[in-house]
Amino acid sequence: MPFVLSVSPDFTPKHIAGWYVFNTWLQRQTELAFHVELYNSFIKQREAIAADEIDLIYANPYDAAMLVREKGFVALAAPLNKADEAVIVCNNNYPIDAIENLQTDLSIVTTDDPDVHLMGMMMLEPADLNADNTNIQEKDSYVLVAKQLLQQKADIGFFLKEAYYDLSALIRDELRVLIASEIFVIRHILLAGPKLQQHHQQLESLLVNMQDNPKGADVLKTMGLRGWETQTQEDTEFMIDLMDTL
Amino acid sequence: METIDFQLITYLERNIDMKLHYYDGTDRVINIIDQEEPFPDGRLIVSRTDTMGILTHCNQSFIDMSGYTEEELIGKNHYILRHPDMPAAAFKGLWSTVKEGGKWDGYVKNLRKDGSYYWVHAVVIPNVRNGNIVGYTSVRRKPSRKKINQCISLYAEMLAEEG
Ligand SMILES: Cc1cc2nc3c(=O)[nH]c(=O)nc-3n(C[C@H](O)[C@H](O)[C@H](O)COP(=O)(O)O)c2cc1C
């Protein structure tokens, strides 16, 4: 039975192929069998985690608590210089330019990306807005979030900052950023499950040295990553604690 | 929290020099200024303490907002930010909640090094490792003006009761 590698469903579409390339690279380096399994929703992926079907996962920080505290996963590494930040965006014609001026019954368009949604809602707090006094619609992708804003079918939208700046300049010209998070410490992490325990050290050292090896550096490029850095158990616990306060 | 005894000796009126006496026998004179520093948009102010409330870690936003340098903060008790307008009861609730393993949240007026202040919505949680509380983390975000205004009158009443 191969080990199963999965990626948080919020991966950027243009980097899907990169994860398959990574999988091949990993198998060559470790001589272990890995198989990529992707899910199109967080709910589906959580079901697979609950059923112990995943061994290695590039996880959304929101899911890290459950993976570490309930499923015995351990962080192997974190992507270099790649924090998850959220932006709240509106149509250029939207008459409000400060969060504090947003009013109740606001319509929000978001995705099922859990950490971005959490950060987005947190940034609405200065206007006393929350899930009870706003209307939230969920879309399958950031492109669809942008579409709702362009068509003025929602007041504001939540984006992963990176996904927002991946939209074409033409689209962004019609939109405006109301606020951007600068949290710095919330990021995806690569976690290994209990079945991989005896290989943790080997995997960890392979990952942190990946960018120094020409082949490894090429693989990283296709994944849209610069490299990996060590993520200690305490780094992970700290991030989980921080998520817990949001 | 019996280890921390923040005592206010002289606080007669606003914008005056105040002598703040701390539980460990030290004191400092500070000019309390009635001037608010706005919470930075999109940021979180993060700090961690040991089990006694001694600062072990703070992020850049914490440093920027407090007006101290990192060296001045690490190893100090968190009451370095204590503003005389804050009632003691607020912090009693904080400590009793987190010591029992709970999550506390509340609105806090904090004192900057220069005597001005900033309001935060603070969440404090215990850091549980292998079943033991090894310290505490506080994450603060921007509060709404409405909540601040409610707290201004609430805290004034509480302070008056505390005498
Ligand atoms: C993690 C953590 C964060 C805290 N943050 C603050 C703070 O920002 N401002 C503050 O005045 N007290 C803060 N406190 C509470 C202080 O430890 C202290 O109880 C408070 O300043 C009042 O002093 P007193 O207990 O001597 O009355 C914090 C405590 C903990 C455990």
Return the domain boundaries, chain A.
3-82+185-245, 86-180
pTM of the model: 0.90
**Helix or strand (DSSP H, E) at B141:** strand B132-141
Q: Give the distance (Å) from ligand 1 centre to CA of residue B77.
A: 8
A:B CB pairs within 8 Å: 57
Q: Which residues pair with B135 in a beta bridge?
A: B127
Locate the ligand 1 atom nearest the alpha carbon of residue B22 and give its number: 26
Residue of B nearest to A233 (CA): B129
Q: Which chain A residues touch B41 with a CB distance below 8 Å?
A: 99, 179
CA–CA gap between residue B90 and residue B155 (Å, rounded) = 9
Residue B28: predicted pLDDT: 72
Q: What is the pLDDT of residues B111-140, one digit of tens each?
A: 999 999 999 999 999 999 989 999 999 999
- pLDDT in 10s for each residue of chain B, 163 residues: 333 334 444 444 455 677 776 666 667 777 888 899 999 999 999 999 999 999 999 999 999 999 999 999 999 998 899 999 999 999 999 999 999 999 999 999 999 999 999 999 999 999 999 899 999 999 999 999 999 999 999 999 999 998 7
Q: What is the pLDDT of residue B22?
A: 66
Taken in order A13, A174, A184, B143, the sign of the CA dihedral is negative
Domains (range + CATH), chain B: 36-162 (3.30.450.20)
Q: Is the CB of B11 under 6 A from ligand 1?
A: no
Ligand 1 centroid from CA B91, angstroms:
6
Q: Is the ipTM of this complex over 0.85?
A: yes
**Residue A66 structure tokens:** 């459950």
The pair of three-digit structure tokens given for residue B29, joined into one six-digit string? 């004179």
Decide the pairing of beta strands A189-192 and B132-141: unpaired
CATH architecture of A86-180: 3-Layer(aba) Sandwich (3.40)
Report yes or no: A241 at the B interface, CB cutoff 8 Å. yes
Residue A177 contacts B, CB cutoff 8 Å: no
Residue A244 CA, ligand 1 centroid: distance in Å: 19
From the list A208, A231, A220, A242, the residue with the least C-alpha distance to A75 is A231
Would the CATH topology of A3-82+185-245 be identical to that of A86-180? yes
**A110 within 8 A of A137, measured Cβ to Cβ:** yes
Q: Can you tell me the distance from the alpha carbon of A205 to that of A152, in angstroms, rounded to the nearest whole number?
A: 49
Q: Which residues from chain B sit within 8 angstroms of residue A183, using beta carbons?
A: 42-44
pLDDT tens digit sequence for A108-165? 999 999 999 999 999 999 999 999 999 999 999 999 999 999 999 999 999 999 999 9
B104 lines ligand 1 (CB under 6 A): no
- For residue B87, give Cα distances in angstroms to A238, B73, B160: 30, 23, 9
Contact A224, A15 (CB under 8 A): yes
* CATH numeric code, A3-82+185-245: 3.40.190.10
